[in-house]
Structure 1
Amino acid sequence: MATRRHILAGLLATTLPRLGWADAGNPAYLAAAQGAGGGFDLHGLNAAGASLFAIPLPARGHAATAHPTRPEAVAFARRPGIYALVIHCVTGQVQARLTPPAGRQFNGHGCFSQDGAVLYTSEVVAETSEGRIGLWDAARGYARMGEWASGGIGPHDLRRLPGRDVLVVANGGIQTDPDDRTKLNIATMRPNLCYLTPEGAVQDQVELAAEYYQNSIRHLALGPDGAVAFALQWEGDPADPVPLLGLHRMGTSARLCPAPEAEAYAMQGYAGSIAFDASGGLIGLTSPKGGVVQIFGAEGAFIATHSRPDACGIAAADAAGFIVTDGGGTVSHLTDSGFAPLCRGAAAWDNHLVPLAT
């Protein structure tokens, strides 16, 4: 029997105008964080880094993705995870809780099709780490529609290329134990970038040169002209100062972009997140392990290293430079000349700062 609350909710749904992102305060970014009390939340941040809303999560979050028109965000669990929550960012209500099929795990990232009708999620077969892309019907309560092969082992980030429904997937190449995440294939790993058509077929796929097969491709950033920048995590000899930034365009070879040797060591073999600035002329690369953020030109030329403890989340600022979040609770503006803190709170920001305009 319908309760009074359900009846009122139904009446409101039919009488109120359709809500949009403006009703949620027009957030510029989404970010997961741990609060002072130990709980976890998904925040919407404005362009100056102030939190507009904080919606509780059941466990530590990782990345999120925003629906292109509706004020809905999908928050993904810290990988490997078994939850993804579809959250109404005006009401704070969980509209759907997604669970991967038996024997699968979410791998921290997802994105929407250009029209918002389909949600794509990065997943692995738990026992083998074979990659899958899950397809969810956003028009039917996020019902599972099917899946595609990701084209590799251990997919992590995935993005939709600007203006079209071609996906690029960062297949990290690492097989992990499903229980304790022990890395099982470091000597034989083969990361790749894989581009999938709207039908799930492989349109292009590139690997790194043989000496860099232990450089796991983890995170992606898209330039306004279709360039793909990718962030790497080195699983080889820690004494080797390898490049952690790569660039690619479909139909070409992947190109790694080295920093000067001393600057490369500062990253400690680990790039946590990556972004183009609004102009597409700069690339920011973070290392929470090294406590630094590096800036490169759009063609991969090294520009500067700036120190910021536990800095990881990064996205384009409205104007010049980047917005950066760190585990100490600070949101900062970064340009090639350095950091300028914008605001600080009790939230310990997690790995990623996700712009809504993606």
Structure 2
Amino acid sequence: MQQMAIDRAKRNLAKALAMGTLSPSLLAGCVTNSTAAKSNVELGCMNTNQVLIGGAIRRQGQFEAVVYSQLGQFQHHIPLPARGHGVAIAPSKHHAVMFARRPGSYAMVFDYRDGEEKALIPAENNRHFYGHGVYSNDGRWLYATQGERATSRGIIGVYDAENSYKKVAEFSGFGVGPHEIIIMSDGRLVVGVGGVHTQGRTPINLATMKPSLSYLSGNGELLDQVMLPDHHKSIRHLAHDGEQTVLCGQQYRGEPDDYVPLVAMHRTGESLVELGGEPEQWARFNHYVASIAATDSHILATSPRGNCYGIWDKSSLDLLEINVLPDASGVVVKNDQLYVSSGVGKVVKINADLTKNAFVSGIQWDNHWSAIT
């Protein structure tokens, strides 16, 4: 019944957006006048350097990338060939890339200042995109998680951002079914390897899956690989805290009545350490964690399937709270504040002291967010 209500709410939101009856109010008009500015500051208005890019559902069967301006208003709606998933933002030019949801057929590069498409990267006939990618720290290379269609063999496609995003290399040898890839400050690539061989989106090797958190050099050399004791925890989504801490979220592929930790933390040279929570608390996440972010003091993970997000203390790893948010999706961190999106248009701003403000964005946010820093 709860899922039916959520689906109905999403349909109603899509209808309102299509008819123009729901005005976008998220962070809008932050500098109209002193009184309005004061009001918006109290509501948590974004600073001028906080620009967000995320996938969205425009209406049934139509998808887009949405760019928010420095004032938190709509700047660009960029139509997508199919449903998008993750976003990579270039550090050295005004480019962003939207990756198709797995098994994806495209990656679209666009200029987030004017919304102009710069390149549409097709997946080769025997490849598909897994929905995520990241630029090298100097912006020269774009790394994208890919799979071989027949086997789900994991591949990192390497594209030359200075040469029309031509594919120049592939890295492999780290496992099956990679999903998210991030980059550390020292240039190491970190890959969440799900370990699942799929046909379309149907898993076919759950008894033998081998998920891992894999570290690669910028040249594709496998530097380290760590695993959780339970091989049914498919490692999928990643984040780091700007230093040396990597966080990974899992999709549990084991017994449906088992409720196990779904977020783990890793530091180089150490084992994966799982975050706290009782089985009945982890049950709220419905076996799936999507976006993750970390501040100096807290870790946040969303669960669209569980219609909630959790917040943990970063030092003790204790679960502090679980909050209801229908179709909880993306999360970004900026200035020690967290912003969480949802597929029913709601956005929650979370301050360092965990006080919260909620907004209606007028956008059906879909999957992940990225912030232009």
- In the superposition, the TM-score normalised over structure 2's length comes to 0.83
Matched to 1:351, the amino acid is N
Q: Which residue number in structure 2 is paired with residue 22 of structure 1? A: none
Asked whether the equivalents of residues 153 and 171 of structure 1 are also in contact (C-alpha less than 8 Å), the reply is yes
Question: Is it true that 1:186 corresponds to 2:186 in the alignment?
Answer: no
Taking the aligned partners of 1:263 and 1:145, their CA distance within structure 2 comes to 45
Question: Is it true that 1:356 corresponds to 2:372 in the alignment?
Answer: yes
Taking the aligned partners of 1:173 and 1:48, their CA distance within structure 2 comes to 41
1:297 paired residue among 290, 310, 313:
313
Question: Is it true that 1:237 corresponds to 2:259 in the alignment?
Answer: no
Asked whether the equivalents of residues 166 and 195 of structure 1 are also in contact (C-alpha less than 8 Å), the reply is yes
Taking the aligned partners of 2:70 and 2:368, their CA distance within structure 1 comes to 15
Q: Which residue number in structure 2 is paired with residue 145 of structure 1? A: 168
The 1:342–1:319 alpha-carbon spacing in structure 2 relative to 1, beyond 3 Å, is farther
Asked whether the equivalents of residues 65 and 356 of structure 1 are also in contact (C-alpha less than 8 Å), the reply is no
Q: Which residue number in structure 1 is paired with residue 194 of structure 2? A: 172
- Three-state SS of the structure 2 residue aligned to 1:263 is helix
**Any unmatched runs of 5+ in structure 1?**
1-24
Moved over 6 A (4+): none
Q: Encode CA deviations 1:133-186: one digit per residue, 9 max, x unaligned.
A: 000001111111111016111000000012x21100000010001xx3211011
**Any unmatched runs of 5+ in structure 2?**
1-47
1:135 paired residue among 147, 154, 158:
158
Taking the aligned partners of 1:48 and 1:295, their CA distance within structure 2 comes to 27
Q: Which residue number in structure 2 is paired with residue 318 of structure 1? A: 335
Aligned pairs for 1:56-75 (under 5 A) are 56-75=79-98
- Three-state SS of the structure 2 residue aligned to 1:259 is coil
Q: Which residue number in structure 1 is paired with residue 57 of structure 2? A: 34
The 1:27–1:56 alpha-carbon spacing in structure 2 relative to 1, beyond 3 Å, is farther
Asked whether the equivalents of residues 317 and 333 of structure 1 are also in contact (C-alpha less than 8 Å), the reply is no
Q: Which residue number in structure 2 is paired with residue 11 of structure 1? A: none
Q: Which residue number in structure 2 is paired with residue 81 of structure 1? A: 104
Q: Which residue number in structure 2 is paired with residue 340 of structure 1? A: 357
Taking the aligned partners of 1:27 and 1:89, their CA distance within structure 2 comes to 13
Kindly report the root-mean-square deviation, in angstroms, between the aligned alpha carbons of the 2 structures.
1.8
Taking the aligned partners of 1:293 and 1:47, their CA distance within structure 2 comes to 26
The 1:46–1:266 alpha-carbon spacing in structure 2 relative to 1, beyond 3 Å, is farther
Higher RCO (CA 8 Å, separation ≥ 6 residues): 2
Taking the aligned partners of 2:247 and 2:179, their CA distance within structure 1 comes to 14
Q: Which residue number in structure 2 is paired with residue 213 of structure 1? A: 231
- In the superposition, the TM-score normalised over structure 1's length comes to 0.86
Matched to 1:340, the amino acid is N
Asked whether the equivalents of residues 52 and 371 of structure 2 are also in contact (C-alpha less than 8 Å), the reply is yes
Q: Which residue number in structure 2 is paired with residue 18 of structure 1? A: none
2:303 paired residue among 248, 265, 287:
287
- Three-state SS of the structure 2 residue aligned to 1:151 is coil
Asked whether the equivalents of residues 106 and 122 of structure 2 are also in contact (C-alpha less than 8 Å), the reply is yes
Taking the aligned partners of 1:338 and 1:266, their CA distance within structure 2 comes to 22
Question: Is it true that 1:202 corresponds to 2:218 in the alignment?
Answer: no
The 1:68–1:208 alpha-carbon spacing in structure 2 relative to 1, beyond 3 Å, is same
Asked whether the equivalents of residues 292 and 305 of structure 1 are also in contact (C-alpha less than 8 Å), the reply is yes
Aligned pairs for 1:3-22 (under 5 A) are none
Asked whether the equivalents of residues 76 and 114 of structure 2 are also in contact (C-alpha less than 8 Å), the reply is no
Cα deviation for residue 352 of structure 1 reads: 0.5
- Three-state SS of the structure 2 residue aligned to 1:272 is coil
- Three-state SS of the structure 2 residue aligned to 1:265 is helix
Cα deviation for residue 207 of structure 1 reads: 1.1
Taking the aligned partners of 1:70 and 1:312, their CA distance within structure 2 comes to 27
Report the number of matched residues: 324
Cα deviation for residue 228 of structure 1 reads: 0.2
Cα deviation for residue 318 of structure 1 reads: 3.2
1:90 paired residue among 113, 121, 139:
113
- Three-state SS of the structure 1 residue aligned to 2:174 is strand
Q: Which residue number in structure 1 is paired with residue 288 of structure 2? A: 270
Aligned pairs for 1:103-142 (under 5 A) are 103-142=126-165
Taking the aligned partners of 1:78 and 1:340, their CA distance within structure 2 comes to 30
